[in-house]
């Protein structure tokens, strides 16, 4: 095992409003302080009673999915918590992932694509 699932991230035009919608559906707490994520206008979270965390990421000019039409596919990605970011980095690359973003400011998280091109993040615990 390399990582544990930290959250599911969903792109949307209004993060807080969508977090509130899902709070009404699932229960839980919107924007609970959590050192793993910075909260703000472009990012909101929902900690559900079952332990799952949904994160809502603001996207300028958001165009909703047209499922099942692949013209605008589903818009989400997974965050995986890891104790050692450098070791996990090497392991996912060996499994076929590619780096999408590991800039110098990315000391606590990095963005990758899985072998099929879906984005995911490794986040230091």
pLDDT single digits (tens) 69-101: 888 887 888 899 999 999 999 999 999 999 998
Flag whether pLDDT at 28 surpasses 80. yes
5/99 Cα distance (integer angstroms): 19
Q: Are 68 and 77 in contact (CB under 8 A)?
A: no
- The enclosing domain of 78 has a CATH number of 3.10.180.10
Tokens of 100: 């999408």
State the pTM of this model: 0.79
Q: Which of 45, 121, 38, 52 is nearest to 82 (CA)?
A: 121
Helix (H, G, I), strand (E, B) or coil at 18: helix
Structural domain for 61, as ranges: 4-124
Residue ranges with strand state E in the chain: 4-12, 29-30, 43-47, 53-58, 76-82, 98-101, 109-113, 119-124
Which segment of 7-11, 17-21, 82-86, 98-102 scores lowest on mean pLDDT?
A: 98-102
Q: How many domains, the chain?
A: 1
């Amino acid at each position: 095992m390399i990582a544990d699932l930290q959250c599911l991230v969903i792109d949307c035009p209004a993060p807080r409003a969508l977090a509130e919608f899902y709070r009404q559906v699932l229960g839980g707490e919107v924007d609970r302080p959590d050192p793993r994520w910075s909260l703000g206008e472009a990012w909101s979270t929902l900690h559900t009673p079952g332990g799952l965390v949904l994160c809502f990421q603001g996207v300028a000019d958001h165009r909703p999915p047209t499922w099942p039409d692949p013209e605008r596919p589903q818009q989400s990605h997974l965050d995986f918590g890891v104790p050692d970011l450098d070791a996990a980095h090497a392991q996912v690359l060996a499994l076929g992932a590619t780096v999408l973003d590991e800039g110098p400011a990315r000391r606590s998280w990095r963005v990758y694509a899985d072998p099929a091109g879906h984005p995911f993040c490794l986040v230091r615990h």
